[in-house]
Structure 1
Amino acid sequence: MKRVCGVAGVTAVLVAFSVACSSVEAAPSKPLPGSMSSVPGRQGVALVPAGGVLLGHYYGAGSIEETDTRIGRKPAMHLSYYGWSDDWTSASATRRDLADGRIPLVNWEPAGISFDDIISGALDQTIEARADGVKSLGSQVILDFAAEMNEEEGWGGHVPDRYIAAYRHIHDVFSARGVTNVVWAWCPNNTDSAESPSALAYYPGDAYVDWTGVDGYNWGTSTEDFRWQSFENVFSDIYVKLATLGKPILIGEMASDEVGGDKAEWIDGIVPTLQSKFPLIKALVWFDVDKERHWQINSSPEALAAYQRMAKNPYMNP
């Protein structure tokens, strides 16, 4: 719901991470964090920690260096956004993440693209180019294609069969090109649009998904349409649904506003809630930017101190 779409949008928030040209040399790979478990039948790994939760970050409120200093550690995962035509396989963000031991989380957004054209194969040239590009990286990348399909993004026109067919087609093209290092994430919104079928109606199937996921926010009380929600409140309903699929769960986007409650207390509740209520959640990504709300981790000194405590908790450092 809080997109920074395509190269232009990303650059507007984080200039240092502009998309590089295809002549950029592959960055040397370093071991990725966490104890990993294998995906049956594939050479790649699912990047699921044996215990605890991987911390991820969207760097929208400063450079990586500035933000990591602010946090007090290096998050394990880095979220970046790309439009349909953007070559995320040669982007400086992807290459730098792999060189620095971060897991790239690629949010690939097909804005303005007909899903019927994806399904028919009319856009296979782009899909094949991305498949070949990511294969050449030789390191694992998490790919979150067309997230929040059940909410206002409405990818595929809120037609689950069309969305599923497009998702599967992209997956199948990657597989046909011999790609084994993409970890496939499927991330609906935590709530459904009134005119949309429920989230699970869009599920591509177990053979096509490594991580299920969800995007969700505490919008605070800045407008009368919203009420303050705890971390548990934001994710409890969708968690029950996702848990039925038995996959590791990724919170692909999350944050809290300052208005209407105690943001520091909200952050302090994350780890206890993960441990006691949400054992299948194995990674979460904070959307660190002052956009529709005060999502940034340093929106107040108290919020930043709480975030630092959370980030240093052993449970967030598997």
Structure 2
Amino acid sequence: MRRRNLLGLSALAAAVPLAGCETYRSNDAVPPVVSHPPPSGGASEDPAELPPVTEGGGAVPFENGKVMLGAYVDLKGMGANVGIDLRRRQLGRAERIVHRYYSWTDDLPVSLAYVSSKSTLMISWRGPEYKEVNGGSSDKLIARAAKRMKQRKRPTLMRWAWDMNRDFYKWGGPANNQDTEGYISAYRRIHRIFREQGADNVSWVWSPNWNSRPSEDWNAYTNYYPGDEYVDWAGISGFAQTQSPGDMFDEFYATYASRKPVMITEVSAVDRGGSTKPDWIADFRDWIKAHPAVGGAVWFDTDTHPSSRENWRIDSTAASLAAYKAMSNDPVFTG
């Protein structure tokens, strides 16, 4: 089943971004960056001075010195199984993380034939408005989802209500009366129900966007952090226009790398012509290798995003594919 059907929003696709990115153009103005103070309870006022985490990840454990390189693959004219198989043949290995999107009311998958034994599934599960969770009316739906995840009997990454610090999703703080505490309460409630149902194979990925919108103090991503006991992976998404990997991810890394393994949960770059995209991929590879708490990176590998003309594919050009293959073949990025 294709993502547009999964999300059930194809009629609104032109107006609402369906994944973690929006309509980026090479000549867009770069939006301002909101400052994200470290979460309360941190061990230091300067997390960058602390050594990075060397363990953690829950049911999908972090391996020190290794990076799970995966992707959301959705290629024009191909089903998920065909697109993922193409990438396996191009890269010479299976995706370490296979990323898929599901709507709030969808039946979450007990099994997917195209997720190999060498791959870990990451589910990005859309959220409703916070009141639907916090009021208890969704408890049965959540319990049903938890039971299905338990039936998978395989470690699975769960990324609920991502990019909550942006203004284009109904589960975002801007759409919920700036109620960041409401997001935290909803996240914790879902986590609790999964635990009660015995879905211990689920590893929880909390995943804001690198750049909050609106760029206001109340909307800083640190205000949405559910707490260390509810998060297995600290994830961050970012789509580069003119920004370097450090521009997007340094601050997040400094804030969380001493307490949680870090995952780049959605990433790609605008091709601004020439060697800009392969150069960016090479820079991304170098950035990850210089930041040892990063244990996962998930490319947004698609040319079907309904609200963007950008080609986010790894093989949008031969040079981009070569740069990506070089990253995939690096010993740090596990095969």
Structure 2: 5+ residue runs without aligned partners? 12-53
Deviation at 1:129, TM superposition (A): 0.5
The amino acid that maps onto 1:82 is: Y
Name 2:279's counterpart in structure 1.
265
Structure 1: 5+ residue runs without aligned partners? 13-35, 220-227
Pick one of 268, 282, 285 that aligns with 1:255: 268
Contact 1:73 1:312 in 2 (8 A): no
Name 1:117's counterpart in structure 2.
132
Deviation at 1:240, TM superposition (A): 2.1
Structure 1 residue 45 and structure 2 residue 45: aligned?
A: no
Structure 1 residue 164 and structure 2 residue 184: aligned?
A: yes
Deviation at 1:242, TM superposition (A): 2.6
Show the 5 A alignment for 1:156-235.
Answer: 156=173, 157=176, 158-194=178-214, 195=216, 197-219=219-241, 228-235=242-249
Name 1:67's counterpart in structure 2.
87
Show the 5 A alignment for 1:297-312.
Answer: 297-312=314-329
Contact 2:56 2:261 in 1 (8 A): no
Deviation at 1:5, TM superposition (A): 5.7
TM-score between the two structures when normalised by the length of structure 1:
0.79
RMSD: 2.4
Which portions of structure 1, spanning 4 or more consecutive aligned residues, are displaced by more than 3 angstroms? Answer: 8-12, 36-39, 97-100
Instruction: Give the whole-Å Cα distance in 1 for the aligned partners of 2:98 and 2:60.
Output: 16
Aligned-pair identity (%):
30
Structure 1 residue 144 and structure 2 residue 159: aligned?
A: yes
Contact 1:256 1:294 in 2 (8 A): no
More RCO (CA 8 Å, sep 6+)? 2
Instruction: Give the whole-Å Cα distance in 2 for the aligned partners of 1:47 and 1:6.
Output: 31
Spell out, residue by residue over 1:220-253, the C-alpha distance to the aligned partner (whole angstroms, 9 max, x if none): xxxxxxxx12222221232222335x10011110
- Alignment partner of 1:107: what SS? strand
Spell out, residue by residue over 1:258-296, the C-alpha distance to the aligned partner (whole angstroms, 9 max, x if none): 1166111111122222122x2211100000012322211
Which range moves more in the overlay, 131-140 or 253-262? 253-262
Contact 1:37 1:46 in 2 (8 A): no
Name 2:117's counterpart in structure 1.
100
Instruction: Give the whole-Å Cα distance in 2 for the aligned partners of 1:229 and 1:116.
Output: 36
How many residue pairs get aligned? The number is 273
Instruction: Give the whole-Å Cα distance in 1 for the aligned partners of 2:123 and 2:5.
Output: 11
Structure 1 pair 232/38, CA: closer, same or farther in 2 (3 Å)? closer
Which range moves more in the overlay, 56-65 or 143-152? 56-65
Deviation at 1:11, TM superposition (A): 10
